[in-house]
């Protein structure tokens, strides 16, 4: 064994002894004196590094991520699928072991906190080989907090098995705006009580199974019509209105002991009237409201500092990051859209702000103390490495997949069913036509062989619409799928063109349930709240009556259907 490798192993053993881990759920103040001693040993650069959550491109450790860990002392890493960090469970576990090995070789050998966004449904970074779950709004339609707990529990087990100890979930935004372009089905629904109950169950499911839960996006991103990735949304509500809706799930999560909360890049004048100031950069919101008033003692994590909702307003990411730390953020989230050098410049800007007196070192110490507490609480010092050979027993297991199927089956919501068109009872010789952005044909032919399908884009072109209509002319019954049709008039054009053929028409909303507002004259309408494989299976089984529709709308469809609406095949 090389000398530096031996030193790394000895450091890891020393840290495991020094930081004797207590069970998850133990008093966060336990052994605080030991953490204080470690803080005294750390340089300013090492402290600031612990506050950095960095990103990189690559399916295995690269020179860039090594540089970020060794030179800027990064204490956390975020993984994405688009950056090739997450491909399969085996690859991800080996990557994370490699990252932890690099961290073990640093002066203090403090383990990395490794995070990802595994919300379920439309936002899931780990898919191939893992258990695909329905998303939050699907779970909200199922109305079962125990289901939210089970979904979080199995997600936590699979994440921890591959070496991920922090999930940037659950979403606790209350989706009261049907035109919200960024939250939608990522929310449990429009009811603060429903979101609170489902969210609290999810928090327990994650944290009792070894993964830090991160409630987002504080103070609440559910009533926006601007995507904060692209601009700065403004919520023009009074404090009293916010208390009745947006704050409710976060207050409940704090009461339940959530260990991390992610901030939102949204401007709320009632909470801080500084022009164009996102909540992420607001001391009255992060320190005044969240810390002091709500009593939150966990980690405050920024949303990505590269998003336009924050980066475009304060002279770039480094300056915005300094302001976020000053406001009260403990962890600065950076993504691979910034190069390693650009991420190091963010780190250096925070160090410089401390050296210049703009931010006190005591302020930094408070954040690092919280971060080290969480690393100890979640056993990172003695369980940083994972056993790759155990993955088949822990990830994507038959038991987990059966849970996912059950949750998806419970979510499907039948909203409209004129002339009892559903369940489909097609006779031999009758032809079924499918027009959808997601293929259903292989699933449908298990029930009815005479099926044709035209796949279209989520924003279908005029040529695709013409092709779909030509196919549809020769069919007896039509199925059409849409996804957030309010964002693309071409989808509405497609459905209306099919409707003009005067054939029985079933529409399926594969994402937001509000789509029927745009084509209310369809004969039947069903919502799936997602388009991953488990939701598509549930949709087809429900179309043919094998799975009875049990979901209830977790949102109001304005002017058409109330919150809680949902038919079954007996009605």
Per-residue pLDDT reduced to its tens digit, 156-201: 999 999 999 999 999 999 999 998 878 999 999 999 999 999 999 9
The reported pLDDT for the residue numbered 571 is 66
* Residues 491-515, mean pLDDT to the nearest whole number: 98
What is the CATH number for 505? 3.40.50.1700
DSSP code for 281: G
* Average pLDDT taken over every residue of the chain: 93
Categorize the per-residue pLDDT at 10 as very low, low, confident or very high, splitting at 50, 70 and 90: very low
Residue 486's pLDDT is 87
Sign of the torsion formed by the C-alpha atoms of 97, 102, 103 and 107: positive
Residues 288 and 429 in one domain: no
- Residues 9, 149: one domain? yes
Residues 523 and 500 placed together within one structural domain of the fold: yes
Q: Does 236 fall in a domain?
A: yes
- pLDDT digits 0-9 by tens, 317-358: 999 999 999 999 999 999 999 999 999 999 999 999 999 999
Average pLDDT (33-61) is: 94
| Lowest mean pLDDT, pick from 16-20, 375-379, 531-535 | 16-20
Residue in the block written with tokens 């002017």: 559
Same domain, 435 and 376: no
Pairing of strands 118-120, 113-116: unpaired
Per-residue pLDDT of 402-425, as tens digits, reads 999 999 999 999 999 999 999 999
23 has pLDDT over 80: no
Residues 7 and 112 in one domain: yes
Q: Any idea what the CATH number is for the domain that residue 232 is in?
A: 3.20.20.300
Question: What is the structure's pLDDT at 181?
Answer: 76
Domain that holds residue 431: 412-543
Co-location of 386 and 418 in the same domain? no
Task: Please report which confidence band the pLDDT of residue 11 belongs to, taking 50, 70 and 90 as the band edges.
Answer: very low
Specify if 217 maps to a domain.
yes
Residue 569, in any domain of the structure: no
pLDDT single digits (tens) 354-413: 999 999 999 999 999 999 999 999 999 999 999 999 999 999 999 999 999 999 999 999
What single DSSP character describes residue 557? B
Count of Cβ atoms closer than 10 Å to residue 293 Cβ? 12
- Final residue belonging to a domain, choices 399, 426, 452: 399
Tell me, yes or no, whether 133 and 74 share the same domain: yes
For range 74-97, the mean pLDDT: 99
Average pLDDT over residues 8-13: 43
Q: Measured between alpha carbons, how far is 367 from 320 in angstroms, rounded to an integer?
A: 17
Q: Has residue 563 been placed in a domain?
A: no
DSSP H helix total and E strand total for the chain: 21, 16
Tell me what pLDDT residue 524 has.
99
Question: Is 549 part of any domain?
Answer: no
Q: Alpha helices of 162-216 — where are they, by DSSP H?
A: 192-207
Using CA atoms, how far apart are residues 351 and 321, in angstroms rounded to an integer?
11
- Catalytic site positions: 229, 303
Tell me if 568 is assigned to some domain: no
- pLDDT confidence tier of residue 24, bands split at 50, 70 and 90: very low
388 lies in the same domain as 515: no
Q: Which stretch of DSSP H or E encloses residue 505? A: strand 505-509
Encode burial over 4-16: b for 16+ CB neighbours within 10 A, e otherwise.
Answer: eeeebeebbeebb
**What is the percent of the chain where pLDDT is above 70?**
93
pLDDT of residue 36: 87
pLDDT band at 312 (very low <50, low <70, confident <90, very high): confident
pTM of the full structure: 0.93
**Residue 218 shares a structural domain with residue 147:** yes
> Are 143 and 277 found together in one domain?
yes
- Which tops the pLDDT comparison, 571 or 238? 238
Beta bridge partners of 557: 561
Question: Is the confidence at residue 45, as pLDDT, over 80?
Answer: yes
The reply to whether 552 falls in a domain is no
Conformational region of residue 184, where left means phi above 0, alpha means psi within -120 to 50, and beta covers everything else: left
3-class secondary structure, 288: helix
In a domain? residue 373: yes
SS3 (DSSP) at 389: helix
Among residues 340, 369, 399, the one where a domain terminates is 399
Phi-psi sector, 551: left (phi>0), alpha (psi -120 to 50), beta? beta
Total structural domains in the chain?
2
Least confident of 228-232, 246-250, 369-373, 471-475: 228-232
Higher-confidence residue of 171 and 315: namely 171
User: Is the confidence at residue 227, as pLDDT, over 60?
Assistant: yes
307 and 219 together in one domain: yes
pLDDT at 570: 82
Tell me: do 438 and 377 sit in the same domain. Answer: no
């Amino acid at each position: 064994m090389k000398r530096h490798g031996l030193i790394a192993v000895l450091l890891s053993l020393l840290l495991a002894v020094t930081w004797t881990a207590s069970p998850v759920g133990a008093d966060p103040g336990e052994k605080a004196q030991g953490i204080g001693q470690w803080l005294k040993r750390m340089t300013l650069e090492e402290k600031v590094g612990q506050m950095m959550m960095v990103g990189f491109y690559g399916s295995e450790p690269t020179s860039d991520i090594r540089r970020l860990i060794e030179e800027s002392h990064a204490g956390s890493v975020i993984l994405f699928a688009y950056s090739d960090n997450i491909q399969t469970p085996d690859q991800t576990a080996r990557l994370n072991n490699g990252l932890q090995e690099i961290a073990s070789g640093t002066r203090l050998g403090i383990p990395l906190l490794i995070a990802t966004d595994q919300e379920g449904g439309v936002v899931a970074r780990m898919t191939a080989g893992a258990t695909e779950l329905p998303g939050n709004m699907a779970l909200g339609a199922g109305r079962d907090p125990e289901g939210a707990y089970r979904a979080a529990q199995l997600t936590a087990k699979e994440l921890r098995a591959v070496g991920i100890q922090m999930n940037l979930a659950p979403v606790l935004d209350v989706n009261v705006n049907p035109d919200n372009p960024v939250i939608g089905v990522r929310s449990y629904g429009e009811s603060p009580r429903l979101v609170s109950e489902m969210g609290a169950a999810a928090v327990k499911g994650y944290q009792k199974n070894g993964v830090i839960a991160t409630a987002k996006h504080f103070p609440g991103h559910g009533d926006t019509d601007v995507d904060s990735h692209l601009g700065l949304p403004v919520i023009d509500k009074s404090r009293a209105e916010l208390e009745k809706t947006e704050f409710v799930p976060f207050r409940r999560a704090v009461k339940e002991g959530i260990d991390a909360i992610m901030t939102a890049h949204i401007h709320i004048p009632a909470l801080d009237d500084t022009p164009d100031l996102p909540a992420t950069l607001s001391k009255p919101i992060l320190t005044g409201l969240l810390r002091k008033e709500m009593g939150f003692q966990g980690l405050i994590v920024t949303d990505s500092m590269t998003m336009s909702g924050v980066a475009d307003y304060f002279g770039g990411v480094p300056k915005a990051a300094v302001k976020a730390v000053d406001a009260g953020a403990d962890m600065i989230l950076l993504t691979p859209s910034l190069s390693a050098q650009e991420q190091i410049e963010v780190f250096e800007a925070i160090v410089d702000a401390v050296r210049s007196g703009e931010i006190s070192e005591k302020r930094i110490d408070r954040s690092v103390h919280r971060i080290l507490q969480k690393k100890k609480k979640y056993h990172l010092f003695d369980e940083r490495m994972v056993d790759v050979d155990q993955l088949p027993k822990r990830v994507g297991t038959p038991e987990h997949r059966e849970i996912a199927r059950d949750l998806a089956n419970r979510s499907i919501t039948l909203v409209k069913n004129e002339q009892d068109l559903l369940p489909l009872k097609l006779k031999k010789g009758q032809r079924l036509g499918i027009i959808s952005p997601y293929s259903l044909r292989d699933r449908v032919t298990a029930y009815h062989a005479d099926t044709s399908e035209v796949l279209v884009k989520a924003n279908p072109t005029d040529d695709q619409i013409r092709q779909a209509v030509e196919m549809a002319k020769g069919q007896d019954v039509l199925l059409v799928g849409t996804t957030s049709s309010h964002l693309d008039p071409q989808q509405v054009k497609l459905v209306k063109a099919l409707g003009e053929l005067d054939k029985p028409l079933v529409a399926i909303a594969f994402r937001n349930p509000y789509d029927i507002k745009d084509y209310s004259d369809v004969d039947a309408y069903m919502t799936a709240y997602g388009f991953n494989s488990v939701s598509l299976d549930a949709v087809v089984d429900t179309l043919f009556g094998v799975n009875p529709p049990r979901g209830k709308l977790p949102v109001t469809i304005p002017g058409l259907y109330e919150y809680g609406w949902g038919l079954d095949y007996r009605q």
